[in-house]
Structure 1
Amino acid sequence: MAPTLTGLPSGLLTEILLRLPAPEDLARASAACPAFRRVATDGSFLRRFRCLHAPRLLAFIDLDGFQPALPPHPSAPAARALSRAADFSFSFLPSHCRWVPMDVRDGRVLLGRDHGQDARPPICRELAVCDPLHRRYVLLPPVPDALVASTERPPPVRRRPFDEPLLLPVGENDEATAFTVISMVHCETKLAPFVFSSSTGQWRAAAPMLWSAMPVSPMDHTYLRRHHAYGCFYWESTLIKRRELLVLNIQRMEFWIAELPSSGWGTLGVAIVEAGEGRLGLFGIRDGTAGGKPDLCYTVDRRNKGKNSGRWQMVKTFSLGSEGLNYIKAATERYVLLICSEAPRFVGLSMEMPDLEYISVDVKKLQLERVCVKPFGNSLSRTRIYAHFPPSLSSPTI
């Protein structure tokens, strides 16, 4: 036998490091000696490791900026290292306009130009994809005039349900630096998707979805809080009497409507996650009844992913312990981010807004863990979870 671990054959050392329980453990091991570092930073090794270990929730991003996980959250050390190493002010991008985070995935941030109070903003906004850790970015070309001309002018409303573009997950066979963006135009009679691929550097038009094919027109209500699981994006309807999901399969670029499980969910959002073995998981908050406190419930579809599952089984219920503000703010395939706080109260003639406690739920561990506490601020704004590996294990994504 080799006298030390550093003297082990590289293949055996690789198998040992692959079996470390968490990315943070690998990051610490990689700092032990050059031999460990060479194995842990090898591209083929990292691809294998990422297949076995999901990235950790390190932070979230909203209009108040980058919010790293703080102690006692288990990701706090990696989040602290990320905040020191990365530039989430995006100062390395061109400064001719203000960039707003639109989507976050695989260590990359999709940014959109903020058109402020423009009376007639462009149909398709300017977009950029960046890697804050390695300070790299790609400015996407504008959607060609010929493609834009093929759509109707969107209805004159300030905010349309599908104005926010999508940054797609990296596929199993994709290169680590490849990415795909979908920008959708919400018209009066249809939803027209445009797809950009970094491999071709070009936009293409995908098949539109006609509103007439839907049981209820999106012009009559709003979709929000989109989620991704198993190659599909889900938008939740805010129509209380008809709780449903609009689903987009990004491989076939096909839309359909899926119903939520039986009534009883609160009005402040649900979250779609990957429960494993191809099954969808659903988190939702049930309103307290008869003076009771609200609960966070986790149910799993007993059938494999499909268009009309509808067979949901309760897995676990979490008591939130507060009758104030409790709602689901964001989700990824594996994590859910909640906001919990006491109810606002009047102090004299003014209303005092409480601090907000951000809580994460790991679908695998099913434990509530506090991420941080922050002032009310822009808590109602778009919030995206940043889930990735510690900086020492993160290769450039662009």
Structure 2
Amino acid sequence: MESPRTLEALTNDLVVEIFLRIGSPADLVRASAACVAFCRLIANPSFLRQYRSVHPPLLLGLLDPYGDIEPTETPHPSAALAGAVARAADLRFGEYFPSSKLSGYCVSDVRDGHVLLTITPYLEDDEDEKLVPDLAVCDPLARVCLRLPPIPDDLLASVQVQQQDLVHYSCDTFLVPSGDEEDVTSFRVIVMMRSTQMLVAFIFSSTTGDWSAGSPFSLGSLRIPYDNIPSYAYGCFYWKVESENRLLTLNMSSMEFSVVDLPPGPDRSFVIMVEAGESRLGMFSLINHGTTLCYAIRQIGSEKSNQLEMDSVIPLPEGYIYFRIHGSYEGHILIFGYAFSEDACFALEIKTMKIERVCRKWRGFCPYFVFLPSMSQRRI
């Protein structure tokens, strides 16, 4: 009599491949509850990073500077689940600082489920305003918050920035997208200080708990608008230079600024750089006074790096006078349409070029993308 066949034990690699094909985060959570081994595999940051690359997080809506959310509306596919998840998120950021004397806080940026807050403390009559604002990073779904240490005075002095220079500087603060990093629970914060003549960037790493500084950069005649939100691709931040077909870049590996020329063409009022795959940069730009959205691809690090490989016009929603584009987030860019009757915010998926309406009105410009609560780790 033939002995019964037995199934060979599945390797962890095969189990991971099976779990990556589970489309519903809720079903994935049920699988994690089956046994300790499954739970350990699914909770691993490396697996969560892979799952995230295959199954994008939900777009809950837009956060305004005060932490209020404008939820995603139907017919957007995230609308039904977004409403429930938004109710589970704790966006009352002031409750994270019960023993602190604050005059207020402001949402500066949102990336990878983290919310960056700029904190304004009460100042006594004999206290001077700080050169660099207090900062905190929160995870509303995990309901945790970390207040960042101040930038050390000796680090500020090392790049010729001192307290008496306060009136000559302004600060931009934003988060660094996690990208393909293995540890999806860590985060980095950039403080970019600018005067009329100089830029310098400071970076905080949650892994080390320390601040570091990049090389100061002389602006010369370059003008970077203060409301110009940077885009991020392949480890670099990009800002459009005002009234010029050039970009200011910040390389996160070297922490150095540089300026690159855009290919010849029409004056581009807004430019967003994205990852187009195969070492190619995608470039979205608005021309014709904000009425036409163009997309082009350029090769990185070759003789053709300053030439457009492809240039196309993307049809925009009808019924709007003009548009603005804003940042790149989780494989999307935001498009704001302005009309006489009713404005609206749209999200364009970079991979498919599909445009979907997010909401009809908005007060903020920070899109809040998250996994379902049951898929969120304690990230801070």
TM-score with structure 2 setting the length: 0.81
Change (3 A) 1:175 1:81: same
Which residue is 1:233 aligned to?
237
Which residue is 1:389 aligned to?
371
For residues 278-298 of structure 1, what are the alpha-carbon distances to aligned partners after superposition, in whole Å with 9 as ceiling and x for unaligned? 21112222327xxxx933222
> Which residue, 135, 149, 155 being the options, matches 1:147?
155
CA distance in 1, matches of 2:323, 2:175: 28
Which residue is 2:110 aligned to?
104
Given the alignment of the two structures, is residue 324 of structure 1 paired with residue 321 of structure 2, yes or no?
A: yes
CA distance in 1, matches of 2:16, 2:143: 30
The more displaced of 119-128 and 66-75 is 119-128
For residues 142-179 of structure 1, what are the alpha-carbon distances to aligned partners after superposition, in whole Å with 9 as ceiling and x for unaligned? 1112223342455746x84xx21232233645533322
> Which residue, 340, 350, 369 being the options, matches 1:363?
350
CA distance in 1, matches of 2:172, 2:180: 25
Aligned AA for 1:90?
F
Which residue is 1:309 aligned to?
305
Change (3 A) 1:264 1:156: same
Deviation at 1:210, TM superposition (A): 2.4
Given the alignment of the two structures, is residue 27 of structure 1 paired with residue 26 of structure 2, yes or no?
A: yes
Aligned AA for 1:273?
V
For residues 64-104 of structure 1, what are the alpha-carbon distances to aligned partners after superposition, in whole Å with 9 as ceiling and x for unaligned? 62223222112223422320211123143215221211121
Aligned AA for 2:350?
V
Aligned AA for 1:331?
S
Change (3 A) 1:370 1:126: same
Which residue is 1:3 aligned to?
none
CA distance in 1, matches of 2:331, 2:79: 18
Deviation at 1:316, TM superposition (A): 4.7
Change (3 A) 1:174 1:13: closer
Change (3 A) 1:32 1:189: closer
Which residue is 2:6 aligned to?
none
CA distance in 2, matches of 1:131, 1:307: 43
CA distance in 2, matches of 1:101, 1:124: 16
CA distance in 2, matches of 1:104, 1:77: 21
Change (3 A) 1:356 1:183: same
Deviation at 1:232, TM superposition (A): 0.6
CA distance in 1, matches of 2:266, 2:320: 17
Given the alignment of the two structures, is residue 217 of structure 1 paired with residue 222 of structure 2, yes or no?
A: yes
Query: What 5-or-longer segments of structure 2 have no aligned partner?
Result: 1-8
Q: Map 1:230-379 to 2 at 5 A.
A: 230-239=234-243, 242-265=244-267, 267=269, 269-287=270-288, 294-301=291-298, 303-304=299-300, 309-312=305-308, 313-332=310-329, 334-343=331-340, 354-374=341-361, 378=363
* Contact 1:258–1:308 (8 Å) recurs in 2: no
Deviation at 1:265, TM superposition (A): 4.9
* Contact 1:154–1:186 (8 Å) recurs in 2: no
Which residue is 1:347 aligned to?
none
Change (3 A) 1:230 1:387: farther
SS in 2 for 1:319: coil
CA distance in 2, matches of 1:114, 1:237: 30
Supply the RMSD in Å over aligned alpha carbons.
Answer: 3.4
Which residue is 1:178 aligned to?
186
Q: Map 1:129-168 to 2 at 5 A.
A: 129-150=137-158, 151-152=160-161, 154=165, 156=167, 160=170, 163-168=171-176
Given the alignment of the two structures, is residue 92 of structure 1 paired with residue 119 of structure 2, yes or no?
A: no
Change (3 A) 1:257 1:56: farther
For residues 286-315 of structure 1, what are the alpha-carbon distances to aligned partners after superposition, in whole Å with 9 as ceiling and x for unaligned? 327xxxx933222222x1368993222214
Deviation at 1:364, TM superposition (A): 0.8
TM-score with structure 1 setting the length: 0.78
Which residue is 2:5 aligned to?
none
Query: What 5-or-longer segments of structure 1 have no aligned partner?
Result: 1-7, 344-353
Aligned AA for 1:386?
Y
For residues 351-394 of structure 1, what are the alpha-carbon distances to aligned partners after superposition, in whole Å with 9 as ceiling and x for unaligned? xxx4321100000121110111116xx46xxx222223222222
Change (3 A) 1:260 1:77: farther
* Contact 1:40–1:393 (8 Å) recurs in 2: no
CA distance in 1, matches of 2:112, 2:300: 25
Which residue is 1:125 aligned to?
133
